Amino acid sequence: MSETTIATGTYTIENVDRRNDIFLADDRSGTLVAGSSEADADPPLKARWIVSQLRNGRYTFSPATQRNLYASWPTGLSLGSAIVTSPTAHDWVVKETRVKETFVISHVQHQLYWGFEEDAQGTPVRLRYPPTGTGNRWRFLPCLESNPDAQRNAIGSPAISRSEVDWQTASESDLSQSRKLDDGWPATCQKLEGHADGVYSVAYSPDGKRVVSGSWDRTIRVWDVRTMCIALEPIEGHYSSVNSVAFSPDGKWIVSGSWDKTVRIWDSEMGTLAVTLNGHTGWVMSVACSPSGKRIVSGSTDKTVCVWDVETERLILGPLLGHTGTVHSVKFSTDGKQFLSCSKDTTICVWDAESGVASRTFNGKYSVCSAIFSPDSKQIVSGDGCGIVTVWDMQSSDSIILRGHSSSVLSVGMSPDGERIVSGRMDNQIIVWDAKFGHPLGRLIGHSSSITSVKFSPDGRWITSGSSDKTVRIWDAAELDAMPVSEDNSDCVIC
């Protein structure tokens, strides 16, 4: 079999050996099955698949109408197992057979291949053998209406879409030019494209020269702020969505947390994996480094908080119990003596960084999606599922409510001087607030989907945001759009 590849894109995947135009379909109940249509008829939406080639040459398959699902192998993998759809993105090997433009799809380790046993609609796709047995060969037909730039012949080297980079041929000037913002929003400085799915987390390097982003596409990307180009190839290694990323205080390492339940530490210059920390039993939703760089704190859907020693690569505090719901966010105080965690259970807990004892608890009314310490550690800023930004006083526990969002606030940040607060919400808008008086200074508009992460640059001049629209944007923090006259704070959701 040859090494000819399939370009990333949207396809109908037809079985070569079966009659009646049998194609791959998702039955919406968790199983891949045979579908059929009359000759020359357009295939239904259930037969359209997003085929993505990974950097290792393998592929993932997602239903075009359910991109949060993937073709996966079942538990207890064996000959005859039916292929299922699940949130877990398993990698598959696709190779061309001796018959040009026909392919087999196999497990990455076992010599088992996708195939149909019968020529009937609704027949499950199963793992079979031998590779070119009847029903095991496939043809990939591009859906041109969903891929307007696709070639009729999708065979060849991997295609470079508008959101991808050809690492071998693209020049720095080409990359910079391709990322010029062209949507006319005056407040936007730059739009960074490259992720294949929503961006869940962004963070600045300590010197402000780089931005790191983590995505539902399972990759981490590092961007050069000066050139607005990708600084190194996408970092791969997580088996599921990357929910949180952070630079170490010295900028040498990147820490990430993922739905694969791990915390990982990467070399920020090479993009290579240095350490994997295992201990959580649920998705890791947030990670943060201590100011010394010697410890990492993580929060998870398992409702616990863990503190890790970077040098020994071991858990030194926890799992800490104190929340009754998913831990959405964790942060160290500036002096490193405390760290906080916020949760779906509506609370913010403040913990002693040495003992792991919860010293304070702040109670809200709604799920707390994000929380941070102020630079002087005298206040906590939080955003919740009802669109409310709250500033809490660490000594008195008094709070100030900032109203201006009409939907869930997924992320909050604060300028290094403590004078401004930034918040991102689900209705695609970012608001910048006066931290002293609690009124909005203006907003940033340009993202086309939920704002999942916002951060001020170390010098306070810029704001970086990540969004479900797959982009990272860098904004001039002093150039804001006007606020609307009024907004109704009624769209409360569970984050």
User: Do residue 213 and residue 145 come from a single domain?
Assistant: no
Token pair, residue 448, equals: 């086309």
* Domain end (from 131, 156, 181): 156
pLDDT of residue 205: 97
User: Do residue 37 and residue 117 come from a single domain?
Assistant: yes
Instruction: Give the Cβ contact number of residue 109 at 10 Å.
Output: 8
Instruction: Give the Cβ contact number of residue 354 at 10 Å.
Output: 12
CB 23 within 8 A of CB 38: no
Average pLDDT, the chain: 83
Q: Half-sphere exposure of 143 toward its Cβ, with a 13 Å CA cutoff?
A: 22
User: Do residue 229 and residue 357 come from a single domain?
Assistant: yes
Asked if residue 216 is part of any domain, the answer here is yes
Instruction: Give the Cβ contact number of residue 272 at 10 Å.
Output: 10
Asked if residue 485 is part of any domain, the answer here is no
Query: How do residues 243-262 score in pLDDT, each as one tens digit?
Result: 999 999 999 999 999 999 99
What is the domain extent for residue 221?
172-476
Asked if residue 468 is part of any domain, the answer here is yes
* Residue 476 pLDDT greater than 80, yes or no: yes
* Residue 47 pLDDT greater than 90, yes or no: no
**Sign of the C-alpha dihedral computed for residues 403, 406, 411 and 415 taken in this order:** negative
Q: Half-sphere exposure of 416 toward its Cβ, with a 13 Å CA cutoff?
A: 13
Tell me how far the alpha carbon of residue 296 is from its chain's centroid: 20
Asked if residue 124 is part of any domain, the answer here is yes
Span 48-59, mean pLDDT? 85
Query: How do residues 307-321 score in pLDDT, each as one tens digit?
Result: 999 999 999 999 999
Q: How far apart are CA 454 and CA 447, in angstroms?
A: 12
* Domain end (from 90, 121, 156): 156
pTM for this entry: 0.63
pLDDT of residue 43: 55
Q: How far apart are CA 48 and CA 61, in angstroms?
A: 10
The share of the chain scoring above pLDDT 90, in percent, equals 50
Span 125-133, mean pLDDT? 83
pLDDT of residue 81: 87
CB 52 within 8 A of CB 67: no
**Sign of the C-alpha dihedral computed for residues 426, 432, 436 and 438 taken in this order:** negative
CB 413 within 8 A of CB 422: yes
Task: State residue 425 phi and psi, 5-degree precision.
Answer: -125, 175
pLDDT of residue 87: 84
Asked if residue 105 is part of any domain, the answer here is yes
pLDDT of residue 392: 95
Domain count along the chain: 2
* Residue 161 pLDDT greater than 60, yes or no: no
User: Do residue 386 and residue 247 come from a single domain?
Assistant: yes
Residue with tokens 């808008």: 429
User: Do residue 210 and residue 75 come from a single domain?
Assistant: no
User: Do residue 402 and residue 449 come from a single domain?
Assistant: yes
- CATH of residue 62's domain is 2.80.10.50
Residue with tokens 């200074």: 441
Query: How do residues 67-115 score in pLDDT, each as one tens digit?
Result: 678 888 877 778 888 888 888 888 899 988 877 788 999 887 778 888 8
Q: Half-sphere exposure of 435 toward its Cβ, with a 13 Å CA cutoff?
A: 23
Residue partners of 109: CB distance under 8 A and separation at least 6: none
pLDDT of residue 193: 92
User: Do residue 147 and residue 226 come from a single domain?
Assistant: no
User: Do residue 98 and residue 191 come from a single domain?
Assistant: no
* Residue 11 pLDDT greater than 60, yes or no: yes
Q: How far apart are CA 25 and CA 429, in angstroms?
A: 37
pLDDT of residue 494: 55
User: Do residue 245 and residue 289 come from a single domain?
Assistant: yes
User: Do residue 186 and residue 50 come from a single domain?
Assistant: no
Asked if residue 57 is part of any domain, the answer here is yes
Asked if residue 495 is part of any domain, the answer here is no
User: Do residue 119 and residue 16 come from a single domain?
Assistant: yes
Asked if residue 165 is part of any domain, the answer here is no
Q: How far apart are CA 262 and CA 253, in angstroms?
A: 16
Strand ordering across the sheet containing 388-393: 368-373, 379-384, 388-393, 399-403
- With cut-offs at 50, 70 and 90, classify the pLDDT of residue 188: low
Task: State residue 175 phi and psi, 5-degree precision.
Answer: -65, -45
- CATH of residue 395's domain is 2.130.10.10
User: Do residue 194 and residue 289 come from a single domain?
Assistant: yes
